[in-house]
Structure 1
Amino acid sequence: MGYLFDSRVILGVGIGFIISAVIFMVIPKKNISKIEVEKKARAMGMIYQSEVKALYNK
């Protein structure tokens, strides 16, 4: 279990966090509306539960 707290492992995780933080700060966020999200989801096959006509026998 000592290898988990090795200084090289902790240093690698820290460097990974820094690199990923820089990448996420550089890449611009895309603001997408709820309507666009729904259009894309429906194109992939999304349906609402109210649109499904099913009978359940208990």
Structure 2
Amino acid sequence: MKRLSLVYRNQTEGKSLRINIPEPIDNIDSAELEQDAQSLIDNGLVPAGYVFMEKIKRKK
């Protein structure tokens, strides 16, 4: 099973937040992914103070 993790970090508190997406598509456009990750912040789905840091792809 494949999984994509979006990692956000709170720069003032040093805490991190991870959103896991099971079975992501194979050809993910990095620029679009970064825009979508930012949209989660802009729409309040990720708490204020967090910034998108990285994506991690894993296979289980």
Q: TM-score, normalised by structure 1?
A: 0.28
Q: Higher relative contact order at CA 8 Å, sep ≥6: structure 1 or structure 2? A: 2
Q: If each structure's helix is expressed as a fraction of its own residues, which one has the higher value? A: 1
TM-score in terms of structure 2 length: 0.27
Larger Cα-atom Rg = 1
Larger strand proportion, structure 1 or 2? Answer: 2
